[in-house]
Amino acid sequence: MTRDITLGQYFPGSSPIHRLDPRAKLLLTIAFIVYIFVANNFWSLGFLTVVTFCLMAVSGVPVKMYFKSMKGILFIVLFTSVLNLFYGSGPVLVQIGFMQITANGIQNAIFIAVRIVSLILFSSILTFTTSPTELTDAMERLMSPLKSLHVKVHEIAMMMTIALRFVPTLLEETDKIMAAQKARGADMESGGLMQRIKSLIPVLIPLFVSSFRRAYELAMAMECRCYHGGEGRTKMKVLHMVALDYIALLFGAAVLAVVILLNIFLPTVI
Amino acid sequence: MEFIKAEDVHFTYDEPNEEHPDAPVHEVLKGIDLSIGRGEFVALLGHNGSGKSTMAKMFNSMLTPTSGKVLVDGMDTADESKTYDIRRQVGMVQQNPDNQLVASIVEEDVAFGPENLGIEPKEIRRRVDEALKAVDMYEYRTHAPYKLSGGQKQRVAIAGILAMETACIVLDEPTAMLDPRGRAEVMDTIRMLNHDKGITIILITHYMDEAVQAGRVIVMDSGRILTQGTPEEVFSQVDLLKTHKLDVPQATELAFRLSNAGCKFPRCVLTIDECVDALVPMLSGKGDSA
């Protein structure tokens, strides 16, 4: 179950996307997520989807991995699009009890599904091509103006780094504890929803206890390595915006322009 | 040259009892005196609860003595203004390799220590590459730690300390959670660091076969130093170790039993090779030895 989660996975490489400054990548991703919601007809959304596919190809990450990242959210995609199927107006195509499916509803369902899928695919490009440290480093730098408001920017970034580092470790441990409890006769696959939630308690408690022990040991190891907060700390990889990064940002702006033009000049769907 | 010195170190984890100041406290360390020279390879031996891990934490000021003194390169570990100077000198590797790696990429984890010290980016890069090459993990520099084996993770942890260029590395049971292959990898790395780079090594362990590889063995038992000396000196006292429920290396055990049964061993044997060297002439030239 936990093996399908690709969160925080990074595929080292040397594609132009890998080489981009993580700050530029982060900003572009946020911008694209906004664009996907700005796009209000099939033309503009289709254009964004095509751009996403092109970027996926450029990233050089195996397509298989992108599909894997979809697996986890397939249910959400299906659920929302089925829900939308029944919320359309116009001539009724199929009548099931009090629910009705309209042509407009079908259009909506497809539209929403494409929207969510491209959303996930685009954010996957970011996490697949950017190491977690780079990502949190970018966040730290982008949020640094908040320091004057006494926001603990370095601490937040360090917490993110550690959280991402321990995602696979804790998933592996969850699998192990589940196997251990099953070996002792725990039943986790049958019963109603409440029953199943209850059966997770013997998994979560040992996981919690061991997480605290890990936290204590990690804190000690960090202290041993002279960690004393963000002050006086340097970085091995210093971030520099180069020509490529500015070109990428210009590209982002150009995509926005195309989306707006397509929105205005072609028929609206939603 | 003396590098680390402990003088009459006492330590207890109990809080001082305000109401009954005379109430008995459980002392983990009961007066430890030792000194470790630059470039030495010392094994600190003892079974669970002997105080060896507590003693390890004294060397880099993670713990400070309840009474007595620990000096590192002349600096008192109880002096808080010197804490980071001491940790620049004495690095520490712990038992669980998973819980001491901070970053999700090998090379970024190794860079964590030097980054904390505020070193120039170019110099960090050089140190990280050098440290990873030293532990033979350079080709894994862009990998995620969770995909490595235990022995590899532990070598990355050692590289993380190496990149800080400390004069001394304290390893607290670094092989306890590893399989035999990982254990051999880590022990090879430790020996190489001591031999080729002149780094002072303090290895805390309860594996006798690892302790044999050190230049000096210190045996601890219930908060005191039981005996110390070269591995030959220590492990020749088989009776003393046995009365304190400590093992000796398997080869030594065999030789000990054989000599009790009447075979004469020329000297204390510690490793399998030494044991073979001693046994072969005995078995082939049976006539003249018996």
pLDDT at B153 over 90: yes
* pLDDT at residue B274, as a whole number: 81
> Which residues of A are less than 8 Å from B96 in CB distance?
217
* pLDDT at residue A1, as a whole number: 45
Give domain status of residue A143, yes or no: no
- B34 versus B290: the higher-pLDDT residue is B34
Q: Report whether B50 contacts B241 (CB < 8 A).
A: no
Q: Report whether B59 contacts B201 (CB < 8 A).
A: no
Query: Given the structure tokens 């993580």, which residue do they identify?
Result: A22
Report the pLDDT averaged over residues B64-93. 91
Name which of B4, B85, B109 is nearest A226 in CA terms: B85
B287 touches A at CB < 8 Å: no
A115 and A7 in a common domain: yes
A158 and A31 in a common domain: no
Q: Concatenated DSSP letters for A192-224?
A: -HHHHHHHTHHHHHHHHHHHHHHHHHHHHHHHH
Name which of B51, B131, B129 is nearest B91 in CA terms: B131
Q: Do B119 and A234 touch (CB under 8 A)?
A: yes
Give domain status of residue A136, yes or no: no
State how far Cα B283 lies from the chain centre.
Answer: 37
Confidence band of B286 (pLDDT split at 50, 70, 90): low
* Closest A-chain CA to B62: A224
* Closest B-chain CA to A13: B142
A244 and A205 in a common domain: no
Ramachandran area for residue B168 (φ above 0: left; ψ -120 to 50: alpha; else beta) = beta
pLDDT at B20 over 80: no
The 10s digit of each residue's pLDDT in A118-145 is: 998 898 899 889 888 888 889 888 988 8
A173 and A154 in a common domain: yes
Three-class HEC string of B222-244: CCEEEEEECHHHHHCCHHHHHHC
Q: How far apart are CA A83 and CA A108, in angstroms?
A: 10
Helix (H, G, I), strand (E, B) or coil at A185: coil
Q: How far apart are CA B148 and CA B142, in angstroms?
A: 11
A155 touches B at CB < 8 Å: no
Q: Do A162 and B102 touch (CB under 8 A)?
A: yes
Report the pLDDT averaged over residues B45-49. 84
A107 and A162 in a common domain: no
CA distance B7 to chain A (A): 23
pLDDT at A255 over 80: yes
pLDDT at A42 over 50: yes
Q: How far apart are CA A253 and CA A34, in angstroms?
A: 12
Q: Do A132 and B145 touch (CB under 8 A)?
A: no
Average confidence score pLDDT of chain B: 87
pLDDT at B194 over 90: yes
A244 and A121 in a common domain: yes
Helix pair A153-183, A201-224: axis angle to 10 deg: 140
A221 and A113 in a common domain: no
Give domain status of residue A169, yes or no: yes
Query: Given the structure tokens 């309840």, which residue do they identify?
Result: B66
> Which residues of B are less than 8 Å from A10 in CB distance?
104-105, 144
Q: Concatenated DSSP letters for chain B?
A: -EEEEEEEEEEESSPP-SS-TTS---EEEEEEEEEEETT-EEEEE--TTSSHHHHHHHTTTSS--SEEEEEETTEETT-GGGHHHHHHHEEEE-S-GGGG--SSSHHHHHTHHHHHTT--HHHHHHHHHHHHHHTT-GGGTTS-GGGS-HHHHHHHHHHHHHTTT-SEEEEESTTTTS-HHHHHHHHHHHHHHHHHH--EEEEEES-HHHHTTSSEEEEEETTEEEEEE-HHHHHT-HHHHHHTT----HHHHHHHHHHHTTPPPSS---SHHHHHHHHHHHHHTHHHH-
Confidence band of B8 (pLDDT split at 50, 70, 90): very high
* pLDDT at residue B92, as a whole number: 93
* pLDDT at residue B10, as a whole number: 92
Give domain status of residue A156, yes or no: yes
A64 and A36 in a common domain: yes
Half-sphere exposure of B11 (CA within 13 A, CB side): 28
Print the domain residue range for A228.
149-236
Q: Report whether B194 contacts B201 (CB < 8 A).
A: yes
Task: Please give the share of chain B, as a percent, with pLDDT higher than 70.
Answer: 96
Q: Do B84 and A234 touch (CB under 8 A)?
A: no
Taken in order B141, B147, B152, B154, the sign of the CA dihedral is positive
Confidence band of B167 (pLDDT split at 50, 70, 90): very high
Give domain status of residue A139, yes or no: no
The 10s digit of each residue's pLDDT in A73-98 is: 888 888 888 888 887 777 777 777 77
* pLDDT at residue A4, as a whole number: 53
Least confident of A33-42, A211-220, B279-288: B279-288
pLDDT at B290 over 50: no
Confidence band of A5 (pLDDT split at 50, 70, 90): low
Give domain status of residue A135, yes or no: no
**Cα radius of gyration (chain A):** 23
CA distance A188 to chain B (A): 27
Say what the pTM is: 0.82
pLDDT at B37 over 90: yes
Confidence band of A269 (pLDDT split at 50, 70, 90): low
Which among B94, B100, B116 has CB closest to A228?
B116
A170 and A37 in a common domain: no
A117 and A15 in a common domain: yes
A207 and A124 in a common domain: no
Count CB-CB contacts under 10 A for residue A169.
16
Three-class HEC string of A104-168: HHHHHHHHHHHHHHHHHHHHHHHHHHCCHHHHHHHHHHHHHHHHHHCCCHHHHHHHHHHHHHHHH
Ramachandran area for residue A90 (φ above 0: left; ψ -120 to 50: alpha; else beta) = left
Give domain status of residue A31, yes or no: yes
Domains of chain B: 2-248 (3.40.50.300)
Q: Report whether B77 contacts B61 (CB < 8 A).
A: yes
How many domains is chain A partitioned into structurally? 2
B239: its two tokens: 């009776």
* pLDDT at residue B19, as a whole number: 73
- A191 versus A220: the higher-pLDDT residue is A220
A97 and A21 in a common domain: yes
Which among B91, B108, B118 has CB closest to A224?
B91
